[in-house]
Amino acid sequence: MSILIDENTTFIVQGITGREAVNLTRECLDYGKGAKVVGGVTPGRLGRDVHGVPVFDTVAQAVEHHGAPIVGSVITVPPAFTKDAVFEALENGIKLVVIVTERIPRGDVAQMVELARERDARIIGPNCLGIIVPDVIKMGGIGGPARDAGKSYSPGPVGVISRSGGMTTEMSSTLTAAGLGQSTAVSIGGDAIIGSSYAELMPLFEADAQTEAIVIYTEPGGRMEAELARWVTENRSRLPIVAFMAGRFMDEMPGMSFGHAGTIVEGKEDTATEKIARLAEAGITVAEEISQIPEIVRAKIGRSPIGQARAEAEQSDQDAGLEAPRS
Amino acid sequence: MSAALFIDVQVKESVARDPEIAAKLAEVCPVDIFRAGPGGVEIVQDNLDECVLCQLCLRVAPAGSVKVIKLYDDGAVLGA
Amino acid sequence: MRFFEYESRAVVAKAGIPVTKHGFARSPEEARTVAEQIAGPVVIKSQVLTGGRMKAGGVQFADNPDEAARHAEHVLDLEINGHMPRGVLVDSRASVKHEYYAGVVWDGLRKQPVMLFSDMGGIDIEEVAEQHPDHVARAHFSTTRPFSDWQAKQLVASLGITGSALNRLTPIIARLAQLFLRYDMTLAEINPLGELEDGSFVALDAHMDMENEARPRQKALLHELGVGDEETRQAREATPFELAGEEVDAQDHRGVAGNVTEFDGNLGLVIGAGGGSLTLFDAVRAHGGQPANYCEIGGNPSVRKACGLAKLVLQKPGVDKIAVMMSIVSNTRVDIVARGVIKACVELGYDPAEKIAIFRIPGAWEDEGFKILEKYGVEYADRSVSLHGAAKRAVEKIQGGAS
């Protein structure tokens, strides 16, 4: 299985006639079992088509043409129009919004997230490359053209969550080369406020039978890693997690932003050093190099296969008053 | 400006003088290697190395009249 | 981007929050004029984008205009943490009965703004939160519904404040919350927020930080404040090398080849993308290398841009070799970057095989890229060599060459 999307997921591309969106559409149609891209939206371009995908002026027209609710939308419109496009998607029943656009002010993102919560929908991004279920479907530019994505991603037991789009592919490729495939890889975006954090995706992976371990890519800035550490501890996750932390040099350069908009050291809490300590406390191994990740994952899966972890959890539930042992 | 290191483009003379083809070449090339001048198509030397090997120029000109040469690949001709 | 105090005060005043009588001065004479207009005791405050100005002597008290001018002369010449002041703020000295704190910041986990209020103002709010948590009130608020006064009232009242103080504080906090959203701030802080002897409230100091991404749509405000488009207002001023990097990136709109930051090592880096650059910079240092710079390539830049960036790095004094490395690319093309960096070497009269320590960019169009690299004898690696592995190789080569 997978999280968020599967081979039956229908989606549209908002801003489909843009240069990058045209490529992205082609890539999604070509990859795996072929994504069900049921429409595209660019105002004023009704009646055109992009690689056979019909173009509409509004999301409502796309939904009407499809004749059934559409699950997702990939948003590729310029930053000044993104909030409006996301609102349009949410108000037309879209439940999964992947925002590719970068440089969107936080105030706009907060509004999108708030409306998504009210509409019981989920946002991935902004400033992300999307979601991929190896050999099945990809939603967004993640992994690039189908042929390239095929080299990096393969099906398997590892869930991947990354604040960097490119590093989602780099880490997955390393896992693939070592014979460890991925259940689903999610590029969650590099901004200070994003629709779905590590901790918010964990319950989905937790419920996915195929997933046996999680690999995350993290950076300085923000408190998302601390949130994950807390989530793992409080929920006694069955999934071992391996993290990679980039941007350690930034600890010496507070106030300066590198790599992504949300990657900035503003206080003691969001330094690489502090985050590594927090993750380690929660039993999350932080790899020094990406090439070490497969080995660590394998060791962890070997030590606590799914059945055993569950049995341990049940055992500790019975030991009333005792803390669950953490490995 | 130094010479192009990676790409050379040659247009057959008869075709180069055709204003219609010159205009088409200038329009389709995403990196502006062709310019429609008074005497037909001109090659913008400074842009040669920007060639993205898209082959759009090969499609709008008569077969064999435009040659894109990869100087880094023993003079291999694109699309040949 | 950060604002100077005099700008932050203007924003606060524009939002209808009372401020003390003050003026901005760039010279002792101007400071004297402002002090004359205030006609009373004043404070001279250095206008720098850094903390610790009180400790550094950047805040001086004066009883008359002559003294104000003398202090201004001294403060205007005083460097604080490597920053020269842009001017001084001449502020009237109010008789303060009590100091409060009011601020708004983003909570990235809740994905909402959060208001902070304390009846212990004048000191760092994090310190108060740590030592006197019962003196700090917090409340998140919606970004889709209009901010309403009761939200501010409830926040202030939660610290046990009532009577006229509650009624006077409420609109101030409400306006601060509203300006935070209206002007795309990431920090809007009044500290201290002073209660005067007559029971009125004034902002005695203010800190504002605006999101860089919002600068295009906040042009009107920035223009009004006199902030130029060229002012980056980053934590440290851009060096000439970094400014040259911005020029390279601005020459066309295809992709990115910039975000250059200067360091003082001998290994020039032409690296990408966002996460890849962070990883590679760490990797070079982890293997004992000394990067000459940080940078980011991404979004499939033109050959010209990749070439410009490589030239800039190659010409930086002290750079012996460059390492060209990225995480697996899907949009940026391997062959285009290869052409750019080789062209840079050739045009500067260097042998690419000598100057490029390692080229590790796997992904889109790699077959074509590897042909180019082979032709010029440049050592390259595909995805089977990790980012750390490539960084290690680059460091080995530069150390071998230097000895």
Judge whether A262 is closer than 8 Å to chain C, CB to CB.
yes
User: Where are the strands (E) in C73-220, listed by range?
Assistant: 88-92, 96-107, 112-118, 136-140, 185-196, 201-203, 206-210
Structure tokens at C403: 């000895």
pLDDT of residue C400: 84
Question: Which residues on chain A are in Cβ contact (under 8 Å) with C109?
Answer: 197, 223-224, 227
Which residues share a beta bridge with A283? none
- CATH 3.30.70.20 is the classification of domain B7-71: yes
Q: Are C173 and C116 in contact (CB under 8 A)?
A: no
Calculate the average pLDDT of chain C.
95
The verdict on a CB contact (< 8 Å) between B50 and C333 is no
Mutual angle of helices A165-177 and A293-303, in 10-degree steps:
70
Residue A88 has pLDDT above 90, yes or no: yes
Cα distance between residue A188 and residue C8, in whole Å = 34
CATH topology of domain C21-93: Dna Ligase; domain 1 (3.30.1490)
* Chains near A (3 or more Cβ pairs under 8 Å): C
Which residues in chain A have their CB less than 8 angstroms from residue C388's CB?
Answer: 289-291
**How many angstroms separate the CA atoms of C314 and C365, rounded?**
25
Could you give the CA distance from residue C238 to residue C260 in angstroms, rounded to a whole number? 9
Question: By the 8 A CB rule, do A297 and A242 touch?
Answer: yes
- Taking the C-alpha atoms of residue C85 and residue C196, their distance in angstroms, rounded to an integer, is 29
Residue C239 has what DSSP assignment?
Answer: P
Catalytic residue, chosen from A51, A65, A66, A260, is A260
Interface pTM, i.e. ipTM = 0.96
Q: In angstroms, rounded to a whole number, what is the distance separating the alpha carbons of residues A74 and A97?
A: 6
Per residue in B58-78, pLDDT (tens digit) is: 999 999 999 999 999 999 999
Amino acid at C341: V
Q: What's the Cα-to-Cα distance from A90 to each of A5, A77, A111, C139, rounded to whole Å?
A: 17, 15, 12, 27
Cα dist from C382 to A85, A88, C278, C364, C378, whole Å: 39, 43, 19, 11, 13
Q: What is the mean pLDDT of residues C298-326?
A: 96
Interface membership of A273 toward C (CB under 8 Å): no
Q: Which helix (H) or strand (E) holds C27?
A: none
List all residues 6 or more positions away from C44 whose beta carbon is below 8 Å from its beta carbon.
C31, C59, C60, C61, C62, C68, C71, C72, C75, C88, C89, C90, C91
Q: Which CATH superfamily is domain C240-402 in?
A: Succinyl-CoA synthetase domains (3.40.50.261)
Across the interface, which of A106, A244, A249 has its CB nearest the CB of C285?
A249
Question: Which residue in chain A has the smallest CA separation from C283?
Answer: A289
| Secondary element (H or E) of residue B31 | none
CB atoms within 10 A of CB C44: 28
SS3 labels along chain A? CCCCCCCCCEEEEECCCCHHHHHHHHHHHHCCCCCEEEEEECCCCCCCEECCEEEECCHHHHHHHHCCCCCEEEECCCHHHHHHHHHHHHHCCCCEEEECCCCCCHHHHHHHHHHHHHCCCEEECCCCCEEEECCCEEECCCCCCHHHHHHHCCEEEEEEEECCHHHHHHHHHHHHHCCCCEEEEEECCCCCCCCCCHHHHHHHHHCCCCCCEEEEEECCCCCHHHHHHHHHHHHCCCCCEEEEECCHHHHHCCCCECCCCCCECCCHHHCHHHHHHHHHHCCCEEECCHHHHHHHHHHHHHHCCHHHHHHHHHHHHHCCCCCCCCC
> Would the CB atoms of C326 and A148 count as touching at under 8 Å?
no
* Predicted confidence (pLDDT) at residue C56 exceeds the cutoff of 90: yes
Q: At what angle do helices C274-286 and A165-177 cross, to 10 degrees?
A: 60
pLDDT on residue A308: 43
Tens of pLDDT, residues A226-235: 999 999 999 9
How would residue C403 be classed by pLDDT, with cut points 50, 70 and 90?
A: very low
Cβ-nearest to C109 among A109, A223, A258: A223
Interface test with B, best of C303, C305, C380 (most B CBs within 10 A): C303
> Which residues does B51 contact at the CB level (< 8 Å), separation at least 6?
B6, B7, B9, B31, B33, B68
Sheet holding B7-11, edge to edge: B7-11, B66-70, B76-77
Which residue intervals of chain C bear CATH 3.40.50.261? 240-402
Question: From CA A187, how far away is CA A191, in angstroms rounded?
Answer: 12
| Nearest-angstrom CA–CA distance, C159 and C194 | 17
| 3-class state of residue C106 by DSSP | strand
CB-hemisphere CA count at 13 Å for A319? 10
Residue A306: predicted pLDDT: 46
Q: Give the number of C-alpha atoms closer than 13 A to the C-alpha of residue C318, restricted to the C-beta side.
A: 11
Is 80 exceeded by the pLDDT of residue A32? yes
Q: How far apart are CA A289 and CA C285, in angstroms?
A: 13
Size of interface B-C (CB pairs under 8 A): 27
Task: Establish whether A260 is a catalytic residue.
Answer: yes
3-state secondary structure of C145: coil
Widest distance between CA atoms in chain B: 34
- Quick one: which of B5, A144, B75, B24 has its CA closest to C304? B5
Q: What does the pLDDT look like over C198-253, one tens digit per residue? A: 999 999 999 999 999 999 999 999 999 999 888 888 777 789 999 999 999 999 88
Peptide bond into A192 cis (omega under 30): no
Mean pLDDT value of segment C6-20 = 97
End-to-end CA distance of chain A: 27
| Whole-number Å distance between alpha carbons of C273 and A129 | 13
What whole-number percentage of chain C has pLDDT above 70? Answer: 99
**Residue A314 in this model has a pLDDT that exceeds 70:** no
Half-sphere exposure of residue C293, counting CA atoms within 13 Å on the CB side? 36
Span A274-313, pLDDT tens digits: 999 999 999 999 999 999 999 999 999 984 444 444 444 5
- What local confidence, expressed as pLDDT, does residue A317 receive? 47
Tell me: pLDDT of A318 over 70: no
Rounded alpha-carbon distances, angstroms, from residue C377 to A172, A269, B75, C354, C355: 30, 47, 17, 9, 11
Q: How many CB atoms lie within 10 A of CB C187?
A: 18
Given a contact cutoff of 8 angstroms between Cβ atoms, the answer to whether B43 and B11 are in contact is yes
Tens digit of each residue's pLDDT (9 = 90 or more) over C347-363: 999 999 999 999 999 99
* Radius of gyration over every alpha carbon of chain A, rounded to an integer in angstroms: 20
Query: Which of B:40-79 have CB within 8 Å of C?
Result: 49-50, 52-53, 70, 72-73
Given a contact cutoff of 8 angstroms between Cβ atoms, the answer to whether C298 and C255 are in contact is: yes
Contact A132, A138 (CB under 8 A): yes
Superfamily (CATH) of domain A10-303: Succinyl-CoA synthetase domains (3.40.50.261)
Rounded CA-CA distance A193/C257 in Å is 25
pLDDT of residue A266: 84
Section A109-123 average pLDDT: 98
Residues in CB range of A67: below 8 A, 6 or more apart: none
Nearest-neighbour CA in chain C from A39: distance (Å): 23
Residue B2 — very low, low, confident or very high, per pLDDT cuts 50/70/90? low
Distance between CA atoms of residues B33 and B26, nearest Å: 7
Query: Which residue does chain A place closest to C218, by CA atoms?
Result: A105
Q: Give phi and psi for A310, each to the nearest 5.
A: -65, -45
Of B2, B31, B73, the CB nearest to C371: B73
Peptide bond into A126 cis (omega under 30): yes
Is the pLDDT at A212 greater than 90? The verdict is: yes
Give which of A176, A178, A136 is closest to A152, Cα–Cα.
A176
Please count the CA atoms within 13 angstroms of the CA of C223 that sit on its side-chain side. 5
**Of residues C162 and C258, more confidently modeled:** C162
- Residue C197, classed as helix, strand or coil, is coil
User: Candidates 3.30.470.20, 3.30.465.10, 3.10.310.10, 1.10.630.10; correct CATH number of C1-20+95-235?
Assistant: 3.30.470.20
Which two tokens mark A291?
Answer: 């090439």
Distance CA A10, CA C197 (A): 66
Question: Quick one: pLDDT band at residue C401, thresholds 50, 70, 90?
Answer: low
pLDDT at residue C236, rounded to an integer? 77
A78 and C CB contact within 8 Å: no
Of B79, B54, B44, the closest CA to residue B64 belongs to B79
**pLDDT given at position C171:** 98
Please say if the pLDDT value at position A316 is more than 80: no
